Amino acid sequence: MSASTNKPSAGPKPPVVLPGGTGNNIIINSNQRLNPLLECIRNVGKEFGDIVPDFQVGRTTCVLYLSLKYHRLHPEYIHQRIERLGHSYSLRILLLLCDVSEHQDPIRELTKICLINNITVMVAWTVDEAGLYLSTFKQYEHKPPDLIKERVDKDYNSVLRTSLTSISRVNKTDVETLRTSLGSFADIAKTPADRLQALPGFGQVKVKKIKDAFEKPFRNHATSTLLSTYNTASASTVVCDTDGKGKGKEKATSQPESSTTTRIRPPREPSPVWDIELDLDRDININSPESGPPPVTRPPEKGPNSKDNGEVKRARSPSPIWDIELDLNGSDEEDNQDGKGKGKARFGAAELL
């Protein structure tokens, strides 16, 4: 791959190459020539190239560099750079230089942008730290991921130390004290709290953390079964009071406290009787056998439609008489003798004749 030549200058500069370049150098965008960050990139080679991102630290890894102070002056800059980058490179990194005091909101905004565009965010607080990140990215380009994983030996003492130090406030010295004083992992788990407090370096808080790790259930109260919600100190009975619109109100009647009482949900009340099921031409006690389904039990109250014994009566005035139900050939005297206010037939057959 051929390299393009530069005009001669006073000081030495890295050669300008294409993105392929040499595999041991960081490829730098030509727009970053005056960036003071370049002086902080050490222990790796540097060369300028015609690339879209600011830095290329691997064959499939690129870095966009952004100063928060510059982002406050030009908030549209990073959007244009991400748009130009498109879907290139497998690993895309946004290296932020936090050089402003109010940095929470800009970092939160940039994090959202990076989540949408599949970009990893790295925050540096100084220029030297940002240059160290770039050097590390290049140095670890071909390193396996196992290189940065924690190495745990397979012997018993190492596994015991790793498991017990995962408990809060327990360090390696405490693990050695537990191992030499109590023995195996099973003996440590079964040791009572008073004996643990007798060991050197074990206070009340540390002992409580250890006992919680061995005895406290993994599931908390929020994820417990629904049945436990009914094991309360007092049981209550719910009475449904239904109004004319079909809405109910719940009233709880407390009962004597009992530690072993289990709250049982009462049976569902029957549905209220609809008007279509009632005989609307006369007063009816809906508790009578011929009135249909039983009514809803109402709390004792006095009103126009209730009695003191809880029975409910529904009374409704008769419906008005339509003209089609009248005898148009009858006389006015028959209409007056009806007694129910049916009225007169003004347009009878006799009057028409």
Q: What is the 3-state secondary structure (H, E, C) of 70-119?
A: HHHHCCCHHHHHHHHHCCCCCEEEEEEECCCCCCHHHHHHHHHHHHHCCC
CA–centroid distance for 117 within its chain: 23
Longest CA–CA span in the chain (Å) reads 131
Domains of the chain: 25-140 (3.40.50.10130), 156-215 (1.10.150.20)
User: What's phi and psi for 308, nearest 5 deg?
Assistant: -70, -25
Quick one: how many helices (H) and strands (E) in the chain? 11, 11
Res 154: pLDDT: 84
Cβ atoms of 141 and 57 within 8 Å: the answer is yes
Report how far apart, in Å, the C-alpha atoms of 293 and of each of 22, 50, 65, 115, 341 are: 91, 87, 78, 62, 33
The rounded distance, in Å, linking the Cα atoms of 44 and 135 is: 6
Per-residue pLDDT of the chain (353 residues; tens, 9 = 90+): 444 444 444 445 554 444 554 578 999 999 999 999 999 999 999 999 999 999 999 988 999 999 999 999 999 999 999 999 998 899 999 999 999 999 999 999 999 999 999 999 999 999 999 999 999 999 988 888 877 777 778 889 999 998 999 999 999 999 999 999 998 999 999 999 999 999 999 999 999 999 999 998 876 655 444 445 445 444 444 433 444 444 444 444 444 444 445 567 777 777 776 666 565 555 445 444 454 555 555 555 554 544 444 455 566 667 766 666 565 555 454 444 554 444 444 444 444 44
Locus of tokens 């982002």: 71
Res 65: pLDDT: 96
- CB neighbour list of residue 5: distance below 8 Å, 6 or more residues apart: 16
The rounded distance, in Å, linking the Cα atoms of 198 and 204 is: 10
The rounded distance, in Å, linking the Cα atoms of 77 and 114 is: 14
Pairing of strands 45-49, 61-67: unpaired
Locus of tokens 């011929």: 290
The rounded distance, in Å, linking the Cα atoms of 79 and 215 is: 52
User: What's phi and psi for 199, nearest 5 deg?
Assistant: -75, 150
As to burial, measured by CB atoms within 10 angstroms (0-12 exposed, 13-18 middle, 19+ buried), residue 328 is middle
The rounded distance, in Å, linking the Cα atoms of 190 and 242 is: 58
